[in-house]
């Protein structure tokens, strides 16, 4: 049974400027037609320069989760890993933000945001990324050997990345299906990527993940409110804020 927790918190820069948190996250576990649990997780970081970035990131997470749930409920679970899935999904995202009520005159670019997402079945996993942040996994049979699924994407210019509102977003998407059992997944936005990744070794920073997952493995199944609250406090702590002033999202899920 999956155990998971997640949190998105505003960075100190946003708190000082009285601007909302532009990160968002969503995690659910559903049961497919075969009675198997499927983990669906998504995180999004709104572009700091986009006027409605917080709406864009929230919609990105909710729409991804809802679309995957519909596919699974309709018995079309494995189509999620097809080449057409993400292109179709981006089209729906764009249609939704253009027609968002109460935001007359807003441009598509006003909703600019990234997306990191995972769909994990008992025997395989599908990962999606557009933008910075990263996804880390621990496969069945491995002991605390965390692997980076996707490295933060670099945009055309320095300190820039890719967004769902880019004209060529569908061409820049990272999509990979891992045909093996995955027991643990971590998803995080760029606010903590330098804490969670070892840039010199181009690898996951195991000391960051090991104590967090060791704690989560002992919890009961399902969503851990205790972990989510603890992650919120942790991401708001001086230890973290002294190293980054950006918004921060962290999703942790295990079935060990």
Q: Which of 219, 222, 191, 197 is nearest to 209 (CA)?
A: 197
Q: How far is CA 151 from CA 130, 131, 161, in A?
A: 10, 9, 12
Q: What is the dihedral of CA 155, 160, 161, 163, to 10 degrees?
A: -110
pTM above 0.85, yes or no: yes
Q: Which of 212, 181, 180, 208 is nearest to 194 (CA)?
A: 208
Confidence of residue 57 (pLDDT cuts 50, 70, 90): very high
Q: How many CB atoms lie within 10 A of CB 101?
A: 5
Rounded to 5°, angle at Cα 176 from 43 and 205: 60
Domain ranges of the chain: 3-254
Average pLDDT rounded to a whole number, residues 179-208 = 94
Question: If DSSP codes are grouped into helix, strand and coil, which group holds residue 27?
Answer: strand
Residue 256 to residue 213: CA distance in whole angstroms: 9
Q: What is the model's pLDDT at position 238? A: 93
How confident is the model over 212-252, as pLDDT tens digits?
Answer: 999 999 999 999 999 999 999 999 999 999 999 899 999 99
Over range 74-96, report the average pLDDT.
83
**CA distance linking residue 199 with residue 212, whole number of Å:** 20
pLDDT in tens, 145-170: 899 999 999 877 667 899 999 999 98
> Which CATH topology does 3-254 take?
Phosphatase 2c; domain 1 (3.60.40)
b/e code 154-192 from CB counts within 10 Å (16+ = b): eeeeeeebbbbbbeebbebbbbeebeeebbbbbbbbbbb
What is the rounded distance in angstroms from the CA atom of residue 2 to the CA atom of residue 9?
23
d(CA 57, CA 117) in angstroms, rounded, equals 12
């Amino acid at each position: 049974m999956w155990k998971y927790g997640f949190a998105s918190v505003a960075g100190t820069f946003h708190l000082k400027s009285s601007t909302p948190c532009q990160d968002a996250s969503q995690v659910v576990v559903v049961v497919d037609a075969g009675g198997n649990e499927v983990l669906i997780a998504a995180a999004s970081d709104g572009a700091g320069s986009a006027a409605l970035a917080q709406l864009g990131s929230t919609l990105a997470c909710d729409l991804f989760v809802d679309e995957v749930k519909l596919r699974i409920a309709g018995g079309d679970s494995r189509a999620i890993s097809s080449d057409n899935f993400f292109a179709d999904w981006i089209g729906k995202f764009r249609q939704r933000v253009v027609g968002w009520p109460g935001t007359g005159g807003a441009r598509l670019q006003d909703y600019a945001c990234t997306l990191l997402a995972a769909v994990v079945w008992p025997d395989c996993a599908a990962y999606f990324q557009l933008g910075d942040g990263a996804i880390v996994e621990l496969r069945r049979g491995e002991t605390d050997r965390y692997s980076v699924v996707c490295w933060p994407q670099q945009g055309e210019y320095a300190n820039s990345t890719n967004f769902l509102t880019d004209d060529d977003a569908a061409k820049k998407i990272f999509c990979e299906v891992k045909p093996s059992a995955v027991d643990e997944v971590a998803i995080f936005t760029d606010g903590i990527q330098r804490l969670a990744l070892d840039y010199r070794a181009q690898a996951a920073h195991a000391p960051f993940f090991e104590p967090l997952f060791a704690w989560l493995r002992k919890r009961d199944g399902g969503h851990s409110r205790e972990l989510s609250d603890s992650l919120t406090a942790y991401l708001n702590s001086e230890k973290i804020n002294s190293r980054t002033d950006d918004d921060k999202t962290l999703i942790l899920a295990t079935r060990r």
